[in-house]
């Protein structure tokens, strides 16, 4: 906790235990604010999906929304993997919806209610890292399961001159191995950056008001800036969820349909 009267823009990312849990493999598993917000995301997602389960012939607004999201994910799979990709739809759907709901929930202004501290699950490297690791594991398992050692031919693009093969292979292998990190870091950094930016400008507002006088202008300017950054962040929330799902399906495509 920062000293009183000052806003620590990093404080929002701190994981705090709500009640202590148990020990598993030498790790303390406590129920944290992070876990709580994961379950809130789960609950919201469930409520959202239940709204689309009426299965009416002529859909209502809610059903249209749910069907639109499902169709959107199906579309990502169909365009980037093809007809073989149907079996990966659940995972890509899970990724997309979990990230989208976490991102959006983190941007909601629940903080104005005293005692509630919103927490963006996707701003934790542990969370994005695990999601990326699962996606990468799927790529590896599917790749080696389906193609065996031929999967290594992924690292040799078509038409590579024979002398260049060792070098190209190393470069491609490196870029392949970097994928899970870039996947995880992209989402994590995008989330964290927007939240810090908003907090820093919120800090400006408070300090400017404290200073009084002409600083009111700075406070007003900062508030306008926060509004714009918030709008931009809402866009980033959706884009990052889409990018994560799209890149996952593109990577799976490499393993599923080896070029």
Q: Which residues lie near other proteins (CB under 8 A)?
A: 10-11, 13-15, 17, 21, 24-25, 27-32, 34-35, 38-39, 41-42, 45-46, 49-50, 52-53, 55-57, 59, 66-67, 70-71, 73-74, 89-91, 93-94, 97-98, 121, 123-127, 130-131, 134, 188, 192
Shortest approach of other proteins to residue 135 CB, angstroms? 11
Nearer to other proteins, 38 or 107 (CB): 38
Shortest approach of other proteins to residue 99 CB, angstroms? 11
Nearer to other proteins, 53 or 214 (CB): 53
Between β-strands 17-24 and 27-32, what pairing exists: parallel, antiparallel or unpaired?
antiparallel
Shortest approach of other proteins to residue 211 CB, angstroms? 29
The first and second tokens of residue 178, run together, are: 């970097």
Nearer to other proteins, 123 or 249 (CB): 123
The first and second tokens of residue 209, run together, are: 């008001």
Shortest approach of other proteins to residue 194 CB, angstroms? 15
Residue 44's alpha-carbon distances to 48, 105, 142, 191, 242, in angstroms, are 6, 9, 32, 20, 19
Write the DSSP assignment of 150-194 as a string of letters: GGGGGGS-TT--GGGHHHHHHHHHHHHHHHHHHHHHHHHHHHHHH
Nearer to other proteins, 59 or 173 (CB): 59
Residue 27's alpha-carbon distances to 20, 22, 96, in angstroms, are 12, 8, 29
Element (H, E) at 119: none
Nearer to other proteins, 119 or 151 (CB): 119
Of 258, 252, 247, nearest to 96 by C-alpha is: 247
Shortest approach of other proteins to residue 80 CB, angstroms? 17
Please name the residue that has the structure tokens 């950054």. 229
Yes or no: say if 101 and 85 are a contact pair by the CB < 8 Å rule. no
Nearer to other proteins, 10 or 178 (CB): 10
Shortest approach of other proteins to residue 98 CB, angstroms? 6
């Amino acid at each position: 906790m920062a000293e009183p009267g000052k806003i620590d823009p990093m404080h929002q990312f701190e994981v705090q235990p709500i009640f202590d849990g148990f020990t598993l493999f030498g790790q303390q598993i406590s129920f944290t604010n992070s876990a709580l917000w994961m379950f809130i995301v789960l609950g919201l997602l469930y409520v959202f999906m239940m709204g689309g389960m009426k299965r009416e012939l002529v859909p209502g607004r809610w059903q249209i929304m749910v069907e639109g999201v499902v169709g959107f994910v199906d579309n990502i799979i169909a365009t980037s993997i093809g007809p073989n990709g149907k079996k990966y739809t659940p995972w890509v759907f899970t990724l997309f919806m979990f990230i989208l709901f976490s991102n959006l929930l983190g941007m909601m202004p629940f903080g104005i209610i005293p005692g509630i501290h919103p927490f963006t699950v996707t701003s934790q490297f542990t969370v994005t890292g695990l999601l990326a690791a699962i996606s990468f594991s799927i790529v590896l398992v599917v790749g080696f399961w389906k193609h065996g050692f031929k999967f290594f031919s992924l690292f040799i693009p078509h038409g590579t001159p024979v002398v260049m093969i060792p070098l190209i292979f190393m470069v491609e292998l490196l870029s392949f191995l970097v994928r899970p990190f870039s996947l995880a870091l992209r989402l994590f950094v995008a989330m964290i950056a927007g939240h810090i930016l908003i907090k820093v400008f919120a800090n400006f507002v408070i300090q400017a008001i404290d200073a009084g006088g002409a600083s009111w202008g700075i406070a007003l300017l900062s508030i306008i800036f926060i509004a714009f950054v918030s709008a931009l962040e809402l866009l980033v929330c959706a884009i990052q969820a889409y990018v994560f799902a799209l890149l996952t399906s593109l990577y799976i495509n490499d393993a599923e349909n080896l070029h």
